[in-house]
Every structure is written in C-alpha cells, then in structure tokens.
Structure 1
Amino acid sequence: MKVAVIGLGWWGKQIVTCLEPSPHLDVTHGVDMDLEAVAPFALAHDLVLLNSLEAVLAHPDVDGVILATPHSLHEQQVLACVNAGKQVFCEKPLALKKESVDRMLALCHEKGVVLGVGHERRYEPAMEHIARLLQDGTIGTLLAMEANFSHDNFKKFTGTNWRLNKADSPAGAMTALGIHLTDMFISLAGPVRTVWAQTASRSFQEPAVDVVSVLLTFESGVTATMTCLSSTPFYGRFTVFGDKAWAELTEISNVDVDDPATVVVRKDDGTRDVFEYEAINTVLANFEAWAAAVENRADYRFTDVEKAHNVEILEAITRSAHSGRPIELGRVHGA
C-alpha cells in the first residue's frame, strides 16, 4: 500500500523512518507547511513532496494517508481522506471530542475504511507482558492501576506551538502522553465511569500547562491514577495491582530511543521476578497491524468502541480540569 505522510515534523519524520522496513507499506509522498525545511529529509527518504492534503487526495498513486497534524484538524482531514477513497491512519488523539470520532467512524464504516490510530504503546513487549499477567490470572482480581508518562521534549517550544496551545492541547500533556495511558487502561480494565482531573502551570508560563493528574473510576470498580508532566526529564512507569500479585513496568527513554524496559512481578507467595525487554519498532508493529486489517488479513487490535471511548475520556478530563469537578462519562455533553 502506497501512503503519504501529512506533517513532517518530529513525529512525522519518526513515522517515515520507522516504516522503512515495512513489507506492506511504502511511504511515497509527504506534505508539510514548510516544504523548504523538510526538503533534505524528503530527498534522503525518496519522498515526493506535495503542497497540500488536497494534492495528495487527488493523486491516483496514493492508497492511504497518515495524518501527523495538529489535533484540532483531525476530524476534517479524516473525513476528507475517506470521502476521497483513501485508507487513513490518524495520530492520537483521533479528535478532541467524542462526537467527532463518532462521525469519523460512521463514515469509515460506510466507505469500508479501517481507521488506524497511533497507539503504538500497546505493542511494547513489556506492556503485552502486563496484559498477559491479567489475562492468565497471575494478577488475580484487578484492584487498581497507577501510571506516569512524562518528558521535557516540549520545553524547547514557544507558547505559539500547537502542542502547547489550548486549541490543540486543552489539558496539558494529555494529548501527547496521557492519551496513551488511558488507551492502555481501557484495554486492561474496560470502560471508565468517572474522571477527576487537575492541571497546573508550574514551569511553563500560563496558559501553557505542564502538569496534569487524573483519578479514574471504571465501570468495574477498578480505580486508576495517572500523572503526565511536560517539564521534567523522561520518566515512565505503569503498575497494576491485584489480589494475587502486582506488576510494574518501568522505562528509561522515550519511544524514539532504543533503551530496554523492565517488568517486576511480586506475587503473594513472596516471589519477585524481574524481566527485561529490548526495545522493538512498535510504530512499525502498529502500522503493520493496520495494513493487515485494511487488507482483510487480520482484525485490528483497537476496536471502534475503544477509539471513541478514549476520546470521550480525554474530553471528560479536559472538562474536569477546567471546572475543578469530577465528570461522569455519558454526561460530558450534559446528557
């Protein structure tokens, strides 16, 4: 499948590089607001540069589109891609409101398009280990989860950068980092019932936010807490607690650095096991799974219900942080 990447910033470039070994996806075209700045990268990776999404959609040799663009643009861009007959993969979050995702998914279903989503962290070997421990009963009854995913990559940005503005990042690092954690939470514990969120501007100048902390309660009764910071050196931890064991995943580097991850499992018999996992190309793993779903070779790991629910959680977190009150999902829109 020949694909174009829209947005050749840091992450768009990362996608192009990660997909180079793919036997199923060939990145042939790219679009960026600053074609002159990305020209050396495009030349090095044999990309044809076009000046707009519309030019890509009109190109008969492009089968699919990968969107690495500001979050507030995702809905209109996904709908345009689907209406043009292209398969589409959209970076997370799919949108900032659940109603947007509902419209996107409805059109994808109508047109036979598989909507890919950039939640490659589910494919981390250490994260898959955590999931297996829950599935095989090692953890026992799941009680609670804790997570922290933080880095200071955005400290170099000015307040005008879209990754810091309220229109695209209405709850600090939730859109860049926290959305991964909530995706993993719901994959392990199911739907969320309520959220209570707080944000702060500690190192960043307002209105930019560099602290977000959230308490989540699930329909099952499981609880979870998460924190994402935008102005501290990289920190990654994900812990699940059960009545038979707990397991904790720790990482020392972000996805673009090939450092190992560690999983520690402590059981109720006192045993403590430590596992180390080398980094793999999780971006490629996610895209290969999407391509397999597009070609009807396999089901995609992310259900449409999960895609929509994760954005519903994001929307509730944003509303809670702004109001200072807990938000019950399903009542995000005042229903």
Structure 2
Amino acid sequence: MKILNMISYKLRPVNKGEIPVGIIGTGGWGKNFVRELSKNKNFDVKVCYDINKKLLASQSKKYKFKIADSYYSLLHEYNINSVFIILPNHLHKEVCLEAANAGVNIFLEKPIANNYLDGKDIVDKCNEKNIKLCVGHSMRKSSNYLRLKEIISKNMLGVIHLVEANRSINRAESIKEFDWRNKREFCPNLPLIQLGIHYIDILLDLFGEPTEINSLALDNVSDSKNTDATICTMKFKNSILAYLGNSYSTNNTDILRIYGTKGIATLTNSKLVIFNETNKDLTYNKPAKESTIKNEIIEFYNYISNNIDIDIDGDNALKVIRTFERISQINSK
C-alpha cells in the first residue's frame, strides 16, 4: 500500500501554523535546508544535529534553534512532528528507521538508500508506523521541467524516440581519503548515485521503468578509489532509446535533450529551449529567484498537513534505486 494513500495517525499531531521540525545533517547540502526552512512560515526549526559542532554552533546562533546531542536525542526528546534528513547515503536506513520508531514524519534527501533492499526496509517501516515519507529529488520541482512535461503531454515534440542526458562535475581529485564518497561500500558507483540519479528519476517520471539496460563504467581517470564515469543506454516502452552519461572528472555539465518527430527540447540548469518544426526556438529562462529546495519544502508541508499527494513517495523512490541497481549490476560484471 502506498504511503500517500494511507490515513495516517500521527504520534506528533500537525497544527495549522508552525510545525515543529528537526534537521539531521546541516553541513554540505543541508545548509540549504537550514536556510530555506528558517524562512518558511509553516515550519519551526526547533532543533538540529550534525557531527560538525563548530558549524552547528554558528548556525544555532544565527537561526535560533536548539542543538541535540545525537540524532537519537533529536528524534525522541524534542517533540517534533517531522525531520529533514540530509546525510551520507549509507546512513539513511539507520536514521530513517529510528525516525519512524519515534513517530516522526520524514523528508529524506535522495537517494532513498544505496540499494533497493535498504530502501524497502525504510518504506516498510514507514508503512508499519503510519509515517509519511517524502524523498527529495529536487529536479522534479524545477519550473522548466514542469513546463517540459506539459509540452510533451501536448504532443508538441511529436513522437519521442531518443533521449540524451548528462550530469557531471569535476570533483574526483578533490575527494579526501576519509570522505564517504571515496568508499564504494558507502557510495557505490559514485557519479551515477550522486549525479545520474537525478536523470534516472526524470526518465522514469517521463517514460516509466526501462525494459532494457546496458552500461559501462570507468575507474582509472583519477586517483579516487571510486568510479570516475559511467554511461548507460536504456530502452523504454514505445521503443524510446535513452543515453545517460555521468562523470566526476570533467567540467560541470547538466543537460537533458529529448528528440521527437516534430521538435527537440533541451533542458539545462538555466533554461529550456524548444526547437520545433517551424524552425523557431522557444526559450524559457529559469526564474531568477527559483529555489527547488523551497518548492520541495512547500510540497512536504502540503503532504503532512493537507494530505496532498507528492511526486516522490517511498514507492517511487524505490523504482529509482531499483533502476540504479540494475545499471550498477551490469557495471560490476
């Protein structure tokens, strides 16, 4: 049973107005959630936890939240309704299971876990405890991606048959020896699970789960102990072919290109361009102040407060990680 179809009895009831929440993981990407949640009038950031005590003290002084001694303490001792978890992938299962046991609704930054079975354990526990789970795949909240979906639904591109996607960054050489991203058991198939996972989610949202997958991986470009680059090809229903490439050892790249019989759509981090059969480009620039994290937070509020369906519940997040795992299993052969 899908979580969003359940009538949820919450141990920590929601009141209209400020909902008490905690944040576990306030460094790195978590800094963005601290900032955006502190500005959101629907949430009251009561307490946070991070292993970086110096950073946490500085943030506490600025944003006026309490500091928990541990994530266990945060979940059990501060009477919060929900928790935002922004942690290394391999810690997701442990912390999410404890949050569910504590009766706390969960926003979990992607991916749901490093593998399907760990992700399923999270979803099953949330179902068992009637906990609402939302997994943050922020690209879904981009206004230009939503516009692209509308264009596709109106058949403006014609019959779609080919897709190209690439999300890459140049960070392999800067990964420290002790960094969790440098360890395959903590972060398997680094560029795919950290970068490619965004486009796996988008491809599944647009076309469903792939019927066929082929893949290759490369791990001798940098001194990193993890994978440097991956490519995979996928076939979807209606004979749609897709290519996905990801690298941790090249210049920043973020592009999705969709080919149809009537036109081509190109989506980047800054704009959406439609080249149609009239040979006229339609360009939609990204709104100057758009924040996909802010949009995720709004969606989560509507989910826990008003039972409005979300894009990425536990079941959809499992489909994403299952596809990631199918690709990775080919790479490991």
Report the TM-score when normalising by structure 1: 0.88
Match for 1:210 among 225, 228, 234?
228
Q: Is the 8 A contact 1:172 1:212 kept in 2?
A: no
Q: How does 1:1-335 map to 2 (within 5 A)?
A: 1-153=19-171, 155-251=173-269, 261-279=270-288, 280-323=290-333
Q: Distance in 2 between matches of 1:17 and 1:68?
A: 13
Q: CA deviation at 1:200?
A: 1.6
Aligned partner letter, 1:90: L
Q: Distance in 2 between matches of 1:161 and 1:60?
A: 31
Q: Distance in 2 between matches of 1:84 and 1:304?
A: 18
Q: Deviations over 1:305-327 (max 9, x none)?
A: 3211101011112211111xxxx
Aligned partner letter, 2:21: V
Aligned length: 314
Q: CA deviation at 1:61?
A: 2.6
Q: CA deviation at 1:155?
A: 4.0
Q: CA deviation at 1:37?
A: 4.1
Aligned partner letter, 1:87: N
Query: Equivalent residue of 2:179, what SS?
Result: coil
Q: CA deviation at 1:125?
A: 1.4
Q: Distance in 2 between matches of 1:60 and 1:270?
A: 59
Q: Which runs of 5+ in 1 are unaligned?
A: 252-260, 324-335
Q: Distance in 2 between matches of 1:56 and 1:144?
A: 47
Q: Distance in 1 between matches of 2:216 and 2:183?
A: 17
| Corresponding residue of 1:333 | none
Deviation beyond 6 Å, 4+ runs, structure 1: none
Compared CA separation, residues 159 and 316, structure 1 to 2 (3 A): farther
Aligned partner letter, 1:314: F
Moved more, 113-122 or 267-276: 267-276
Identity of aligned residues (%): 22
Q: Is the 8 A contact 2:172 2:224 kept in 1?
A: no
Q: Is the 8 A contact 1:113 1:294 kept in 2?
A: no
Q: CA deviation at 1:152?
A: 2.5
Q: Distance in 2 between matches of 1:192 and 1:315?
A: 12
- Bigger fraction of residues in helix: 2
Query: Equivalent residue of 2:216, what SS?
Result: strand
Q: Deviations over 1:247-289 (max 9, x none)?
A: 00123xxxxxxxxx12111112333222212241110101210
Q: Is the 8 A contact 2:275 2:281 kept in 1?
A: yes
Compared CA separation, residues 217 and 132, structure 1 to 2 (3 A): same
The RMSD of aligned alpha carbons is 1.8
Q: Distance in 2 between matches of 1:281 and 1:107?
A: 31
Report the TM-score when normalising by structure 2: 0.88
Compared CA separation, residues 154 and 32, structure 1 to 2 (3 A): farther
